[in-house]
Homo-oligomer: A and B are copies of this chain.
C-alpha cells in the first residue's frame, strides 16, 4: 500500500505533489462531465501525483474594478466533480470551499452532505475574496463549525505571499489558522519567488519563537502561454515581476519560457529555504483549458517534482 495523502503531508521526509483543476461549467451535462474528467485523468497517466485539488471558483468581480479577462462562468458543485474524480481515479481529492456566501446553517448542512453524500474528507476553506462583498459566514466561524462537526475532516488553508508582501502578517495568519485546525496550506500561483521566500522565512521564524512545528506549505505553480493568461493571472492577484512578464511575452516559446521561470523560482526558493525545516509541496494547475497549457502543466509538474525530489534525496545523504 502506498502512503496516503495525509501520511505524506505529515511526514517531512516526503514530498507532496498535487494537480489543481476546476470543475466544468454549471451547464455541462453529466456524460460530458464524465468525459472531461476521464480526459484529464488520461493525460495525467504519464505522471505520478499524490492527489487532485478541485477549486471553488467564485465571481470575484467585487474584488477589483478591472474587467475579468476570461468571462466568469459558474461551475458545477466542486464536490460533485471531486466525487467523480475520486471514483474514476482512486486518487485522493482536496476540495476548496468558499464560505462567505451562505450562513452558518447552510454551511452545517454543506459539511454533513460533503461527508455523507460526497464522501470527501480533505477540505480547504476560503474566506471572502474582498472585504467589500457581503460576508454571511466568516472564515473563523466556519473553522469552528468544521471542528465541532461530527465528521472527521482533514483541513487546509490558503497562503498568499502577495498579501504578506503588502501587509507583512500572512505568517501570523498561518499560525492562527493552524490553531483553528489547518494541517497544511496551499499557496496562490508563485511567480514572485522573493515574496514566497519572505513569507516562508517569517513563518519558520515565528514558529520557532513560539515552539511550533511548521505545517506543510504546498506551492502552486502554473504555466503561462502569453498575454491573455498573464493578464488573467494579474487579475487573480498573482504578482508577476516585470522581468518575468517580458521574459514570457518576448519569448519564441512563451509556454516553455514560463516553465523555465517557474523552475528558476523553485530553485531559488529551495536554496533560500533549505534550512527552514518547513515541509514543502507542489501543486501544478493550468489556468485555462487550452490543450497546450494543459500539456505544459504536465511538463511543468514533472520538472518541478524532479527538482524537489532531488532536493529531498540530496538532504538524506548529506
Contacts and interface: CB of A to CB of B under 8 A. Distances in A.
A48 interface: yes
| Copies of this chain in the oligomer | 2
A305 interface: yes
A306 B15 CA distance: 12
Interface string A8-33: 00010110000000000000000000
A3 B307 CA distance: 22
A299 interface: yes
A36 interface: no
Contacts of A263: 317
B14 A46 contact: yes
Contacts of A48: 2, 48
Interface stretch (A63-71, A119-127, A308-316): A308-316
A302 interface: yes
A209 interface: no
Contact of A317 (B3, B46, B303, B310): B303
Interface centre among A256, A310, A313 (most CB of B within 10 A): A313
Contacts of A2: 45, 48
Contacts of A111: none
A179 interface: no
Contacts of A309: 302, 305-306, 309
B302 A313 contact: yes
Contacts of A302: 309, 312-313, 316
A260 interface: yes
**Contact-residue bracket for chain A:** 20 to 34
A1 B303 CA distance: 22
A161 interface: no
A190 interface: no
Nearest to A309: B306
A259 interface: yes
A79 to B, nearest CB: 24
B306 A313 contact: yes
Interface in A121-174: none
Contacts of A305: 309
A317 B254 CA distance: 11
A46 B306 CA distance: 16
Contacts of A316: 299, 302-303
Given A260-B317, A263-B317, A306-B306, 10 more contacts: A3-B46, A48-B48, A299-B313, A302-B313, A303-B317, A306-B307, A306-B310, A306-B312, A309-B309, A310-B310
5 contacts: A299-B316, A302-B312, A303-B316, A303-B317, A306-B309
List 8 tightest A-B contacts by C-beta distance, closest first. A306-B309, A306-B310, A303-B313, A302-B313, A256-B317, A299-B316, A259-B317, A48-B48
